[in-house]
């Protein structure tokens, strides 16, 4: 049986809307009608073959997660099984263990848009460094979708003071942290606001993270007090320079959060609670629905702060006016 899908035929090009064979259903799997799939940064990286999980196989269908409809009409949030047959297609064949039912009436586009960025901080603060009530948090890169949601997630999970740091001043002004710091003001300004935090959620990496790490550790009043640094994204660069003294002269605990750092089982266990938070509006996002048939246009469209593109295979659903 054929379906239509976003198909990557070359890692140098955007996906094309093409017919594709529906994968065979194996034991323990079900076929879903895909309703919406988010175009997350991770999906773009996967479609260029550059993600650390990429096998380099072509053709491939991008998309790591989405919302689908089962044969009984109920909607589920689901996570793709591998990096070759992703979720940006009319149908998805999914392991039953990798799907979570959505409550009746759930906003499909919002769930598809929010789960990936929201999960990054939710899982970090629940599974990597379980946050204690009142602990203070710095979000490095608070102007992106995941960073802005991290402020809401940290608040929901009991954080005390929250500092948000980011590049774009206008977007930073909308971040609901207790204090915001423009990265352009330099590492000393960041240290003045955040040297005493307990946890850093780092979406930047690269030079801003190197500079921030040294500035915070240097300005910290008690360097033997634990500072948990959780590496989550790398929009500012794939590597950092880390002087060895940073690890000897302070109680710095550096770890990452992502696929591999946390087991699939642990991720899945967190999903129902996160879906509920998105439903109640604790975690907010603006989905921008674009028909799957327009995948090339979606790929070319610049990301708008606060929005997340979701591709919608069906017709007559949240059609995009932009």
Ligand X SMILES: NC(=O)c1ccc[n+]([C@@H]2O[C@H](COP(=O)([O-])OP(=O)(O)OC[C@H]3O[C@@H](n4cnc5c(N)ncnc54)[C@H](OP(=O)(O)O)[C@@H]3O)[C@@H](O)[C@H]2O)c1
Task: Please report which helix (H) or strand (E) contains residue 280, including its range.
Answer: helix 264-280
Q: By the 8 A CB rule, do 151 and 201 touch? A: no
Q: Which residue has the tokens 């960073």?
A: 147
CB nearer ligand X, residue 60 or residue 204: 204
Residue with tokens 């054929």: 2
Q: Which is nearer to ligand X, 160 or 305 (CB)?
A: 305
Strand 227-231 relative to strand 252-256, pairing: parallel
Phi, psi of 68 (to 5 degrees): -130, 170
Nearer to ligand X, 142 or 250 (CB): 142
Q: Kindly state the smallest distance separating residue 46's Cβ from ligand X, in Å.
A: 10
Residue 47 CB, nearest approach to ligand X (Å) = 13
Backbone angles phi, psi at 201, to 5 degrees: -105, 115
Shortest distance in whole angstroms from residue 305 CB to ligand X? 5
Least separation in angstroms between residue 23's CB and ligand X is 25
The least CB distance from residue 185 to ligand X, in Å, is: 13
Nearest distance in Å: CB 116, ligand X? 5
Beta carbon nearer to ligand X, 16 or 167: 167
On the CB side of 91, CA atoms within 13 Å amount to 16
Nearer to ligand X, 66 or 166 (CB): 166
Q: Which is nearer to ligand X, 121 or 312 (CB)?
A: 121
Residue 312: strand pairing partners:
291
CA 72 from chain centre, in angstroms, equals 29
CB of 261 to ligand X, least distance (A): 8
Helix-then-strand count for the chain, H and E: 9, 15
Q: Which residue's structure tokens are 């073959």?
A: 49
In the complex, the smallest distance separating the C-beta of residue 40 from ligand X, rounded to whole angstroms, is 6
Distance CA 285, CA 109 (A): 10
Backbone phi, then psi, for 282, in 5-degree steps? -65, -35
Q: Which residues bind ligand X (CB under 6 A)?
A: 40-42, 116-117, 120, 141, 143-147, 166-168, 171, 183, 203-204, 208, 232-236, 257-258, 303, 305
Dist CA 242 CA 315 (whole Å): 50
Q: Which residues contact 22 (CB under 8 A, 6 or more apart)?
A: 1, 2, 3, 31, 91, 93
């Amino acid at each position: 049986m054929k379906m239509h899908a976003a198909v990557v035929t070359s890692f140098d090009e955007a996906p094309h809307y093409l017919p594709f064979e529906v994968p065979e259903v194996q034991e323990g799997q079900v076929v879903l009608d895909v309703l919406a799939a988010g175009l997350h940064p991770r999906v773009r990286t996967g479609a260029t073959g550059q993600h650390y999980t990429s096998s380099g196989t072509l053709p491939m269908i991008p998309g790591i997660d989405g919302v689908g409809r089962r044969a009984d009409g109920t909607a589920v949030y689901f996570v793709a099984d591998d990096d070759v047959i992703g979720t940006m297609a009319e149908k998805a064949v999914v392991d039953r263990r990798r799907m979570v039912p959505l409550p009746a009436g759930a906003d499909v586009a919002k769930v598809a848009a929010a789960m990936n960025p929201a999960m990054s901080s939710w899982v970090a603060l629940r599974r990597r460094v379980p946050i204690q009530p009142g602990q203070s948090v710095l979000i490095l890169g608070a102007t992106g979708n995941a960073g802005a949601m991290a402020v809401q997630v940290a608040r929901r999970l009991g954080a005390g003071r929250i500092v948000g740091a980011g590049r774009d001043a206008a977007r930073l002004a909308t971040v609901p942290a207790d204090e915001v710091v423009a990265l352009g003001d330099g590492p000393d300004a960041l240290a003045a606001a955040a040297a005493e935090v307990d946890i850093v959620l780092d979406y930047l990496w690269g030079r801003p993270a190197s500079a921030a790490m040294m500035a915070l550790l240097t300005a910290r009043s008690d360097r033997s007090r634990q500072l948990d640094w959780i590496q989550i994204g790398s929009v500012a660069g794939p590597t950092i320079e880390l002087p060895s003294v940073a690890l000897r002269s302070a109680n710095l605990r550096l770890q990452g959060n992502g696929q591999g750092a946390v087991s699939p089982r642990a991720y899945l266990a967190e999903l129902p609670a996160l879906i509920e938070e998105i439903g109640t509006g604790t975690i907010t996002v603006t989905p921008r629905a674009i028909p799957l048939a327009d995948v090339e246009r979606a790929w070319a469209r610049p990301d708008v702060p606060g929005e997340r593109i979701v591709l919608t295979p069906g017709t007559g659903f949240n059609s995009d006016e932009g």
